[in-house]
Amino acid sequence: MSPTPVVSVRDLRVYYGTPRGTVRAVDHVSLDIGEGEVLGLVGESGCGKSTLGRGILGLLPEGAVSDGEVLYGGRNLVGMGAKELRRLRGPDLGLIFQEPMTRLNPVMRIEDHFRETLQQHEPGLSARELRTRSLETLGRMGIPPTRFRQYPHEFSGGMRQRIMIALALVLRPKLLVADEPTTSLDVIVEAQILGILSDLRQTFGTALLLITHNLGIVAEACDRVAVMYAGQIAEEGDARDVFADPAHPYTRELLRSTISLETEELHSIPGSPPNLIDPPRACRFHPRCPSAMVVCAERNPIEQRIAHGRRVLCWLHGPEELIPDGGTEPLEREEIAVADEA
C-alpha cells in the first residue's frame, strides 16, 4: 500500500431530511484508503455503509446534506460542482451498484452500455478499440462475446451483476467503491470476482472500498476493515488483527454471529440497529452491548488508538481519566432499556 492515501475522508457527515426529523446516516466518519489497498466496510443493514460509499463519490439523492472533507488529488469532493464530479466519475472514481437490474437500461443492449460509458470519458477511442476493450473486460467476468449484443433481461441476476462490475472496471478507476459486488453470485463466480478485483489493484494500483455483509470475503480479500454501526466507525484496523482480537464489543458480536465449520450453535445480536433520527444517547451500541458500563449510557465514547495502529470507539479502552467514579460498573439490562428510551 502506498503511504499516500488515494482518498482521505475527514469528519464526513451525511444527513437526510425527512418529515419525522433528520436522519444522521453518516456521523463524523474519518478514514483513509491507500493506493492498491482494499478496505472492507462491514456492519448490519441500516448502519450507513452504502450512504458512506456514495457520500465519498458525491452520489447522494436530492435532499441529502453532506459536510466534512473527502480529499482526492488535493481537492475536496464535498461541495464540488456537479459538472466537475461527473468528469471524475469513471476514470477516477468508480462505483459498483448493489442492484444491477435497476442500473442497466432495459432498452439498451450491453454493447450500447459500454459504448456510452467509454465515449463519455474517452471520446478518442475508435470503434474497434472500444469493442476490443469492452469484450476484454466482459471476458474477464466470464461473459462470452456472443452475448455482447443482448439486452439486460436476457441475463441472469448473477450475470447482470458481473456486467455492472465490468462497466465499472472498463475505465480503470483509481478509486472503486464496490457496494455488495458479489450479491446473488454463487461461490465459484464470487471467487472469480474477488480474483479480478485483486488483479485490478495489483496491476493498476486501484484503491478499493468493499462494502459487504460477508465477513468471509473481508477476511480473504481485504487489507484493512472498518466496522460501522449507527453511522459511526466503531473499529478500524488491519483485517488480520481485527479478526484475531476484536476490540469493540460490536465487532466481537458480529464475528460470533458468523457460521463456520466449528459452529455448534447459532448466535445473534439482541435487538436491531437504532433509529438514526433519534439514536441512543452516549454510546449508540450500549442498549445491545453485553459489556455495557454505566459510563456508556452517560457519555459519548472517545476514539482511542490501540495496538498496531487500530482505532476503536469504546469506553472499554478509555481514556480512564475521563470515566467518572462508578462509571465502570456494569449496566444492568433493565437500566439499558430505560437508557434507550430516554
> Does residue 30 contact residue 10 with C-beta atoms inside 8 Å?
yes
* Residue 227, helix vs strand vs coil: strand
Which pLDDT value is given to residue 3? 60
Q: pLDDT band at residue 338, thresholds of 50, 70 and 90?
A: very low
| Domains of the chain with bracketed CATH | 1-92+173-273 (3.40.50.300), 280-342 (no CATH)
Residues 264-321 pLDDT 10s: 888 889 999 999 999 999 999 999 999 999 999 999 999 999 988 899 999 999 899 9
Above 60 in pLDDT, residue 339?
no
Model-level pTM greater than 0.95? no
CA angle at residue 35 from 29 to 38, to 5 degrees? 65
Quick one: pLDDT band at residue 334, thresholds 50, 70, 90?
low
pLDDT digits (tens, 9 = 90+) for 21-55: 999 999 999 999 999 999 999 999 999 999 999 99
Q: What is the mean pLDDT of the chain?
A: 89
Contact 172, 208 (CB under 8 A): no
Is residue 149's pLDDT more than 60? yes
β partners of residue 70? 9
What percent of the chain clears pLDDT 70, i.e. is strictly above it?
95
Say what the pLDDT of residue 169 is.
86
Q: What is the pLDDT of residue 340?
A: 46
Buried b / exposed e across 102-117, counting CB within 10 Å, b at 16+? Answer: ebbeeeebbbebbbeb
Looking at residues 85-97, what average pLDDT do you find? 88
Please determine, for residue 1, whether its predicted confidence score (pLDDT) is greater than 60: no
Q: Which residue in the block uniquely carries the three cell numbers 453518516? A: 26
